[in-house]
Every structure is written in structure tokens, then in C-alpha cells.
Chain A
């Protein structure tokens, strides 16, 4: 079974702090994704990566950056956290050509910025 893990289930940070959210997958997937989920808005793509050191902006990249130094790990960085970044963050990975590029999701990190 594909396993996607995220470093924390719950995180509380202060405004202005630098925040790192880590995601690791164990199935050698090429593609990795970071989403945020807000009530009534569904999941919105922040950034994705299709290879080591490669990244592309999603629909809402402002205020975020990412890092992919190893294939299995994809980090989301909030350089200076703000209260409007309080949300659920979901990481996903996928392998091209498998069931329409089905994405496998981690359990999510619920981030609160005070």
C-alpha cells in the first residue's frame, strides 16, 4: 500500500513564524502536491513537483514556498505565517499512468496561526 505521511496532525504557530510542513511518500512517486482545504472551497492546489528540485505553482502559491531535495520528500514552507493561513494542509503523491494519475493523500496537518 502507498503510504504518504505528514510530519504533524496538528500545529499551532504565531504570526510571523517560519513554518515547515513535511511530507514523505514511500512508493517512489514522481509527482507530489500540496493543497489547502477550507470549508466551502474544497481543495486548492498550492504547489506541485514532478521531479527532484522541480516545482510549479498551483492556484494559490502566494505566501508559500516549497522544497524537494529528495524524491520521497516534499516540504511546504510558510516564510512568515499569517492568520489567513490557518487551514488544513494536505499532501499527495501520484505516479503517471496509474489509474488516471490517481493521487494518494496523507492524513493532513491542521495548522492554526495565532
Chain B
């Protein structure tokens, strides 16, 4: 079964608008971490934001925030005031902390975001 699901293969947003990229996850581990990475066309993976399952507040990093809804098992990325440089592939990932594979990240299939001028 898919552990990380990103249902939007592609998204468009107007420059300066906000955009939400969806991510749902599946785990029975009570302790886990959720990550978002950005991959521009150059190929490198850039860490954006992290949310721990026991964190009380939603994570924020500059223009990025994570809308964490634990009961719904969703961890959507919100980008405010989109910029042309935000055009990239975005990956959601999860690490299950209690399992034997606690060092591994499981990635979703990604969402290609295009910011329009």
C-alpha cells in the first residue's frame, strides 16, 4: 500500500498567489516525521520543512507552512506569495521512527508546480 500519496501530478498558480500542495500518508507508527523537499529542474533536492507527529504546532519556514491534520493523516504544504523561482517538483516524505527502518524516508510521487507570471 502507498505510504505517501500526492494526488496532484501538476499544479499551476499565479505569481504572488498562495498554493496548497496535497499530501496524505498512511502509518500505524505513533511516532513519525513528515518532510517536504523541492527539486528544481537542475535536479538537486532541497529540504523545505519538517513536522514531527508529536509537534503541537504546524511547522513554518518563511513562506512555507505545513498544514498538519493528524486525524486525517494529511500534511499539505502551503506556499504563500508564490514566486517564479518556486516552479519545481515538490516531494512529500515520511520517516517512521519506531520501526526497524527508522532511518529511511518514503517519498510520494511528487507534484510539479508551475508559477505563472
Contact = CB atoms under 8 A, between A and B. Distances in A.
B104 A42 contact: no
A102 interface: yes
A41 B109 contact: yes
B52 A43 contact: no
B103 interface: yes
A101 interface: yes
Interface stretch (A15-23, A60-68, A74-82, A104-112): A104-112
Q: Categorize the interface residue count of chain B.
A: 20 to 34
A110 B41 CA distance: 13
Given A107-B44, A108-B43, A100 B103 contact: no
A48 B50 contact: no
Contact of B50 (A41, A90, A99): A99
Contacts of A43: 91, 93, 105, 107
B108 A42 contact: yes
Question: 4 nearest interchain CB pairs?
Answer: A100-B33, A105-B45, A42-B107, A43-B107
20 contacts: A35-B107, A42-B6, A42-B110, A43-B93, A43-B107, A44-B107, A45-B104, A45-B105, A58-B104, A88-B43, A90-B45, A94-B103, A96-B103, A100-B33, A100-B50, A100-B52, A101-B33, A103-B105, A105-B44, A106-B44
Interface of A: 9, 31, 33, 35, 40-45, 48, 50, 56, 58, 88, 90, 92, 94, 96, 99-108, 110
Interface of B: 4, 6, 9, 33, 35, 37, 42-45, 47, 50, 52, 91, 93, 95, 101, 103-110
